[in-house]
Every structure is written in C-alpha cells, then in structure tokens.
C-alpha cells in the first residue's frame, strides 16, 4: 500500500445553531491511500456531506486531526487551503453547480482562471477535458442546452482540468437517469485507472459497489469498512 493521502484521527463535527448542538460526526478514524477508490455510503443525514466538506477543506472539523498528504490541514494558511481546493482536489456535486450563463468550456476553465493560467492555455485545456468526457461537440453549449448527464460530465471535466490528485464526488449520480449514471461511473473508473484517488459519496449501494472499498457511515460514525467485489481492479 502506498502512503495515505488522507489520514483522519478522531474527526468530530458539531453544528451549533443558537443553543442547539448537533454532533454530525462523532469521531472518524480512517486512512485512504493514494490511488484508492473509496465509496462513503450511508443513509441520508448520516454525515456523508459533512465528511466530504472536511475532506475537501471546505469546512473545519470541531475536533480531531486531518492529515492531507502528510500535512496537518489545521496548520495551513488560507492561501494554502485555497490552493488545495483549487488544484489538488476536483469536486463533483449532485447539483452540478455550473454557471448557467457560461458555455461549457468557460465553466470548465474556471479553476484555471483562479490558478492564473493564460487565456490561450485555459481554452485548450478546457476543450481537452471536455473531449475526455465525450463532449467535444458541446463546448459552446450553455448548461441549459445540455441534458443532466451531459451537465454532470461538464462538471467532471471541470473537476479534472487542473489534474488534481484526488476527486471528491458527493452524490454525483443522485440527479441522473440510469444511462447517465452509468456514463459518470465509467468516467470515475477511468480516472481511477489513470491513478487518481477517488472518494465517492452515495446512499446507493449499487453505486458504492463500483468502488474498491466501502466505508459505511451511520449517525456520524463508521460502522463498517470493507473491500468490495471490485477491490484490486485496475490502478
């Protein structure tokens, strides 16, 4: 096994609103190796998105330690965190999160704008990423002119345009029909085959089976951690 890209030690998250407190994560200990394909599976409300937000450095844990590629996230500066979110991790969300007014390629180039890449190179890389997800002929279309499955593929292209080491996908197939679900899962397989670490969050057991390992989460705790039938496939 290679070095862990993610190491979590006693991660807790307590949400506070007024005098109410809710413990969404109650002590998560786990490690994910570089190149692994892990599905985090559990029912709605079990803490999956909370965990993903912490893994993606979009939110801070209330307690515990998160080492990302060996580095303690709590000691990173805002600039370092922005760099992690923008270049080292690619995000895919259930709602696609595309900007409706921009054509597909402009959506895909956005992370490169933040990364300060030249205009010419941005366009080239965005078109290459869209080609990779099978949308070479849709680069000029706005999200509203694309099907749900195509929109999610644009979002995957946006996630991979910076060549991140890790893809975090939160219910990426939650809004898709079965055909588009299969397309997006095939894309994740491909990215995993190319050496990326994938963390896929889902409440669907058959989607989770596409990964090599399942972390089952229930009421903010890991209740099972097991290889799937696909463990050892590819990479």
* 57/146 with CB nearer ligand ADP: 57
Residues paired with residue 52 on neighbouring β-strands, in sequence order: none
**CB under 5 to 8 A by kind: which of ligand ADP, Mg ion, none does 180 bind?**
none
Is residue 45 within the footprint of ligand ADP (CB under 6 A)? yes
Q: In angstroms, what is the minimal distance from the CB of 32 to ligand ADP?
A: 18
Among 48, 125, 153, 192, indicate the residue that binds ligand ADP (CB under 6 A).
48
Sheet of strand 213-218: strand arrangement = 89-93, 166-170, 197-202, 37-41, 213-218, 221-227
- Give 194's contacts (C-beta < 8 A, 6+ positions apart): none
Contact between 64 and 8 (Cβ < 8 Å): yes
Is residue 46 within the footprint of ligand ADP (CB under 6 A)? yes
Rounded to an integer, what distance in angstroms lies between the CA atom of residue 17 and that of residue 185?
37
Is residue 196 within the footprint of ligand ADP (CB under 6 A)? no
Q: What is the residue whose two structure tokens read 């985090």?
A: 40
Q: In angstroms, what is the minimal distance from the CB of 224 to ligand ADP?
A: 15
Is residue 202 within the footprint of ligand ADP (CB under 6 A)? no
Q: What is the residue whose two structure tokens read 């499955």?
A: 149
Among 6, 32, 41, 47, indicate the residue that binds ligand ADP (CB under 6 A).
47
Is residue 49 within the footprint of Mg ion (CB under 5 A)? yes
Rounded to an integer, what distance in angstroms lies between the CA atom of residue 66 and that of residue 72?
6
Q: Which of residues 186-205 bind Mg ion (CB under 5 A)?
A: none
Beta strands in the chain (DSSP E): 4-17, 20-33, 37-41, 63-68, 71-72, 89-93, 166-170, 197-202, 213-218, 221-227
Is residue 50 within the footprint of ligand ADP (CB under 6 A)? yes
Q: In angstroms, what is the minimal distance from the CB of 101 to ligand ADP?
A: 28
Residues of this chain that interact with ligand ADP (CB under 6 A) are 15, 17, 22, 24, 42, 44-50
């Amino acid at each position: 096994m290679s070095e862990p890209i993610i190491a979590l030690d006693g991660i807790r998250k307590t949400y506070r609103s007024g005098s109410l407190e809710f413990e969404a994560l109650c002590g998560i200990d786990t490690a994910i190796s570089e190149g692994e394909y892990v599905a985090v599976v559990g029912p709605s409300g079990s803490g999956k998105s909370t965990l993903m937000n912490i893994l993606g450095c979009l939110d801070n844990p209330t307690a515990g330690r998160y080492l990302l590629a060996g580095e303690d996230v709590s000691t990173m500066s805002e600039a370092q965190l922005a760099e992690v979110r923008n270049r080292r991790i690619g995000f895919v969300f259930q709602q696609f999160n595309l900007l409706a007014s921009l054509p597909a390629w402009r959506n895909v180039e956005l992370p490169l704008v933040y990364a300060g890449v030249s205009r010419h190179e941005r366009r080239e890389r965005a078109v290459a990423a869209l080609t990779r997800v099978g949308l070479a002929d849709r680069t000029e279309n706005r999200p509203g002119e694309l099907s749900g499955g195509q929109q999610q593929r644009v979002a995957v292209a946006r996630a991979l345009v910076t060549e991140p080491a890790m893809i975090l996908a939160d219910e990426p197939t939650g809004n898709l029909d079965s055909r588009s679900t299969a397309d997006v899962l095939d894309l994740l397989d491909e990215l995993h085959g190319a050496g990326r670490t994938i963390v896929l969050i889902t409440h669907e057991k058959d989607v989770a089976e596409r990964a090599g390992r399942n972390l089952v989460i229930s009421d903010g705790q890991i209740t099972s951690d097991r290889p799937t039938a696909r463990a050892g496939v590819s990479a």
